[in-house]
Amino acid sequence: MTRPTVIALIGLAVAAIAALLALQHEREEPPAPALQIPAPTPATIDAREPSFDVVRIDTEGDSVIAGRAQPGAVVSIIDGGNELGQVTADARGEWVFVPPVPLAPGARELRLRAVNPDGGTVESGEPVVLVVPERGKGPALAIKPGRAGGSKLLQGPGGDAGGALSLDLVEHDDQGRLFIGGKAPAAGKVFLYLDNRFIGRADADSDGAWRVAAATPADGPHLLRADLIGDKGKVLARVEVPWTPGEALVRGAAAVVVAPGNSLWRIARRLYGHGTAYTMIYEANRGRIRDPDRIYPGQVFSVPAR
């Protein structure tokens, strides 16, 4: 075999290896997102604050609520203006509270107040919003709004992921940031696409929750797609959800998350076909709406059947 032939064969081998590596890299790691994500506003978190970690509500309204606080702190669980009960955080700062009676149906907001061992009193900066259905009429919804934007779905209509992939929550704020979240197997790798264009990735946490932040796109409608990616870049599961900017989505729930610029009239027109039906939403959420002309981004309202 001549020297030029050997050199040509080596060149072909190098090119083939390079192409194989490029293909493998493309499968495992999509190109960087073209959308620019606005920088989040810094959030100040007081280390003494109590916090929610778990909220579970069954179809009969019985619930278990758990979280963290300073060790030895006395934590009060507040439902609107009423105290559901108190519990003392253990030596690890963990607490669990089981309300003695089922939670009443309807939308509500839970907050925490802790009296720490030093005598200081501090409240939670991040509440939990609940939508509890009528007894035996479907699963409850529990959402923890993020201080810096975006929410975490603690409990949704689909329950636990159980090894599957879900895309449960889509919302955006007035700073142009889009937040998408769902469930996947713990430590699962999730790639997210907007109209088949890669916009971000996330790894599911120990509870199976994942969240991606991106820039809010132009007026839609759009198609959001989440892929669960295996170790070798293979797509193990896929879910697609249609979405339009200006709308917040909670998959499968009889609830709506208020987006910037929304009003009860607009929400009713979209859900029921005519704005005058806003009174149905107002009556179902009277405890959370002081003035029907003033609602705020991030509020969660239960939605009555048509």
> Is 72 inside a domain boundary?
yes
Q: Tell whether 125 is covered by a domain.
A: yes
Which CATH number belongs to the domain containing residue 73 in this structure? Answer: 2.60.40.10
Tell me whether residue 84 is in a domain.
yes
Q: Is residue 105 part of a domain?
A: yes
**Does any domain span residue 203?**
no
What lies within 8 Å, CB to CB, of 160 at 6+ separation is 183, 208
Q: So what's the pLDDT on residue 200?
A: 92
Contact 300, 257 (CB under 8 A): yes
**How many distinct structural domains can be found in the chain?**
1
Q: How far apart are CA 128 and CA 108, in angstroms?
A: 9
Bridge partners (DSSP) of residue 144 are 152
| Residue 80 domain-assigned (yes or no) | yes
Nearest to 180 by CA among 204, 211, 155, 157: 211
Return the pLDDT at 88: 95
pLDDT at 66: 92
Range of the domain at 74: 44-129
CA distances from 2 to 5, 6, 169 (A): 5, 6, 64
Confidence (pTM): 0.53
Does residue 1 form part of some domain? no
CA torsion through residues 160, 165, 167, 169, sign: positive
Q: What is the DSSP string of 51-116?
A: EEEEEEE-TTS-EEEEEE-STT-EEEEEETTEEEEEEE--TTSEEEE--SSPPPSEEEEEEEEEE-
**Spans in the chain with pLDDT lower than 70:** 1-47, 138, 146-150, 156-163, 174, 246-257, 259-260, 271, 287-288, 297-298, 303-306
Query: In DSSP terms, which residues pair with 225 in a beta bridge?
Result: 193, 240
Q: Are strands 151-155 and 141-145 parallel, antiparallel or unpaired?
A: antiparallel
Helix (H, G, I), strand (E, B) or coil at 46: coil
The answer to whether residue 117 sits within a structural domain is: yes
